[in-house]
Structure 1
Amino acid sequence: MGIGGIISAIVVGLIIGALGRLFAPGRQRISILLTIVIGILAALLGTWIAQNIGVAVTDGIDWIELVLQIGLAVIGVMIAARTLGSRRRTVL
């Protein structure tokens, strides 16, 4: 993978991760770096799932693949926010 592939993976990860945060319910206290990583993983996994269920590659936007990617990003953001989000300690 060349530098162009790495940069495009980061940009796609940022967009998919941001959309995941947008559609995830509640407030997410996770870093932008974690959002990008979740977005990259969601994009890769969503593409793999779409190819395995038979979604054809088109010249335009593959809407089914995009919905899968965003859905996976929402799930990833929710899991990360719940497990890694702000850990407040309550003082009694």
Structure 2
Amino acid sequence: MHFIWSLIVGALIGAIAGAITSRGAKMGIISNILAGLIGSAIGEGLLGHWGLQLAGMAIFPSIIGAVILVLIVSAIFGRSNKRT
């Protein structure tokens, strides 16, 4: 059951990060989940485990980490799409 909650919270974190960066319309549900889960690891690694926690993820550091991840991935893939 914890796994399902992690996926749901990861999707929400990824969707919030997509909305903050204005790149959410281009991201699907799988991308949102991955951005949320990987972003959570990045954010908690950089900022620690503070604030509200859901499914073992600190929400605010996770959102910040997901925003960083979305911006980096968008910069990489956005640049490669412009060259073709």
Q: TM-score range by the shorter chain?
A: 0.5 to 0.7
CA drift of 1:9 comes to: 1.2
User: Which consecutive unaligned segments of at least 5 residues does structure 1 have?
Assistant: none
2:61 corresponds in structure 1 to 68
Matched residues, number: 77
Poorly superposed stretches of 4+, deviation over 4 Å? none
Where in structure 2 are the equivalents of 1:1-92 lying within 5 Å? 4-24=1-21, 26-27=22-23, 29-48=26-45, 49-51=47-49, 55=50, 61=52, 65-85=58-78, 87-88=81-82
TM-score normalized with structure 2 length: 0.66
More helix by share: 2
Q: Which structure has more RCO (C-alpha within 8 Å, separation ≥ 6)?
A: 1
Q: Which runs of 5+ in 2 are unaligned?
A: none
Larger strand share, 1 or 2: 2
Q: Which has the larger radius of gyration?
A: 1
Amino acid of the structure 2 residue aligned with 1:75 = I
